[in-house]
Amino acid sequence: MSDHFKLLRIYTDEAAYFGDRKLFEEVASRARDAKMAGATVLQALFGFGHSAHQHRKHFLEDDQSLVIEIVDEDARLREFAASLADVHGIGLITLEAVEVLGGDSSLIATAIKA
């Protein structure tokens, strides 16, 4: 289908907030508003970052590691990542090449043209 797509990964945790909103909700909402081709928020069973603080699933706490994955073109993802400079609580941000093999190509094409 296309080989010019990239995958932006944003690492954070469930306990992170941006104002009165969960950080992952803020980032996902901004991705939707920016008309990114697609975004998914994934929960991890266990994780840690540079601080070595362990994030794990626990029935009494909301402290799971989260990964927000966003697919779109390289330039659009770089611009989107730069637009998150005001959002504190984001961990690592990575960008990698992906090959889109299927899905609704008309939706992807529409998102890219927006």
Would you state the pLDDT for residue 48?
64
Cα–Cα distance between 35 and 109 in angstroms, integer? 11
Query: What stretches of 1-114 adopt beta strand conformation (E)?
Result: 2-13, 17-18, 21-22, 38-43, 46-48, 54-56, 65-73, 93-100
Enumerate domains of the chain plus CATH numbers.
Answer: 2-113 (3.30.70.120)
pLDDT in tens, the chain (114 residues): 455 899 999 999 888 999 999 999 999 999 999 999 999 999 887 666 655 555 555 555 566 889 999 999 999 999 999 999 999 989 899 999 988 887 765 555 555 555
Structure pTM? 0.79
